[in-house]
Amino acid sequence: MATRTQVCIIGAGPAGLLLSHMLHLQGIESIVVEQQTRAAIEGTIKAGVLEHPTVELLGQLGVGARLRREGFAHRGIGLAFGGRRHRIDLHGLTGGKSITVYPQHELIKDLIAAVLANGTAIEFGAGAVSLHDIDGIHPSVRYTRDGTGREIRCEFVGGCDGFHGPSRQAIPAALRQEYLKVYPCAWFGILCHAPPSSEELVYAHSERGFGLVSTRTPAVQRMYFQCAPGDQVDDWPDERIWAELRARMANDEGWTLKEGPIFKKDIIAMRSFVCETMQHGRLFLAGDSAHIVPPTGAKGLNLAAGDVALLARALGRYYRHNSRTDLDRYSAIAIKRVWRSEHFSWFMTSMLHEFAGEDAMTRRFRRAQLDYLVSSRAAATSLAENYVGLPFVGVE
């Protein structure tokens, strides 16, 4: 027997949960289908730099209380190169805007609690998820749960299931317009028990490559450094990690890292991906199912929020006014913000990383860009505006 709803959302990440909650606030029913268990989703530790528009949106939706209370508001970021640290005054350059550091898994906990409190069902642990009849007027989503086959019949499908999910693959390959850039490096990330090394994020460039100092809590810190894409976690014992981070962050100002026991290590691939075909029939993609950014620009979660804000608005107008105008324009409008954020992420990555095989002139170009950025108010303002987040396109 099939279950019926207005919108079936595939994926209980930030995009899917936000979409469900925003639809509920407009009186639109949804069911969320998620492959992982609730414990797995809430326990997966991920970075979380929230742009100003994202924080404002979460506050308007009534799910921002804990992040306001426990998140770290950063009014600037540091750029370290050439033995010195330089501060980009995000707050002063953008008319009072800032970013908030709040781990993604904590935001997911908040969103799951809100969605369940709405009375919306989240089908955790769903296997063999597949989409059907997305070209028709009554699409459906089929899956298994607890060994039983299930089906949800709906009017629209929100594909919020990430890069490897089935939603994008449900669009015929011949109709998908996709772009992919793979970077010749990866990020090695650690979590450690230590006090903060800096009150604000520090992005570092050196001849050895990129490094980043971030924070999670007053007692837990997150740090990254550029590594080879073929590296394995076991290639990096703790002693080697700290030696490399110290070398990347070396400076002439006496500033040193606060070190402590490392309790988590991971390696993050670096790629840029865009599927410009963000809709097909009654399927609409949002978040990582449609685009991936390298983490240097801290845009992934925020791009998802921008997509969802636009899609929820379009669905709301459809159900209120029986008009598909905004839905039909969803891809065209959303992709503008996607490409802006993709370019910014590429810019930050290219400026701060060293890539194998580069010539000496390219490295000089990179240093010239860094010098210009910290000496020109116009250049710093451009970076600050993009970093704190441009307004969500097409959202009033």
Encode burial over 233-272: b for 16+ CB neighbours within 10 A, e otherwise.
eeebeeeebbebbeebbeeeeeeebebeebeebebeebeb
Residue 220 lies in a domain: no
Give the pLDDT score at 393. 74
Residue 216: which pLDDT band, with cuts at 50, 70 and 90? confident
Active-site residue, selected from the candidate residues 183, 224, 330, 387: 387
Which of 203, 224, 318, 330 is flagged as catalytic? Answer: 203
pTM for the full model? 0.95
3 state DSSP class of 196? coil
Q: What is the pLDDT of residues 74-99, one digit of tens each?
A: 999 999 999 999 999 999 999 999 99
Closest CA to 157 of 36, 6, 292, 34: 6
Q: What is the DSSP string of 113-162?
A: HHHHHTT-EEETT-EEEEEE-TTSSS-EEEEEETTEEEEEE-SEEEE-S-
Q: Are 298 and 222 in contact (CB under 8 A)?
A: no
In a domain, 265, yes or no: no
pLDDT per residue as tens digits for the range 328-374: 999 999 999 999 999 999 999 999 999 999 999 999 999 999 999 99
- CA 143, chain centre distance (Å): 26
Domain tally for the chain?
1
- The yes-or-no answer on residue 299 being catalytic is yes
The answer to the question of residue 291 being in a domain is: yes
* 120 Cα distance to chain centroid: 24
**5: pLDDT strictly greater than 70:** yes
Backbone angles phi, psi at 296, to 5 degrees: -60, -35
Residue 329, class by beta-carbon neighbours within 10 Å (0-12 exposed, 13-18 middle, 19+ buried)?
middle
Q: pLDDT, tens digit, for every residue of 268-289?
A: 999 999 999 999 999 999 999 9
At residue 108, the pLDDT reads 96
Candidates 53, 102, 295, 318; catalytic one: 295
What's the domain range around 13?
3-74+100-179+272-355
**Strand order from edge to edge, sheet including 140-145:** 3-4, 148-153, 140-145, 127-132
Asked if residue 10 lies in contact with residue 285, where contact means CB atoms within 8 angstroms, the answer is no
pLDDT band at residue 48 under the 50/70/90 scheme: confident
CATH of the domain at 105: 3.50.50.60
Establish if 111 belongs to a structural domain.
Answer: yes
What's the token pair of residue 157? 């499908």
Nearest in space to 167 (alpha carbons), one of 91, 278, 47:
278
Is 203 a known active-site residue?
A: yes
Query: Which pLDDT score, from 0 to 100, does residue 47 have?
Result: 74
**217 in a domain, yes or no?**
no
24, 280, 291, 299: which is the annotated catalytic residue?
Answer: 299
Q: Is 163 among the domain residues?
A: yes
Residue 376 lies inside a defined structural domain of this protein: no
Give the mean pLDDT of the chain. Answer: 96
Q: Tell me, yes or no, if 387 is annotated catalytic.
A: yes
Active-site residue, selected from the candidate residues 74, 280, 291, 353: 74
- pLDDT value of position 395: 56
pLDDT at 215: 87
pLDDT confidence bin for 396, thresholds 50/70/90: low
Residue 160 and residue 142: Cα distance in Å, rounded?
16
pLDDT tens sequence across 146-182: 999 999 999 999 999 999 999 999 999 999 999 999 9
Is there a domain that residue 139 lies in? yes
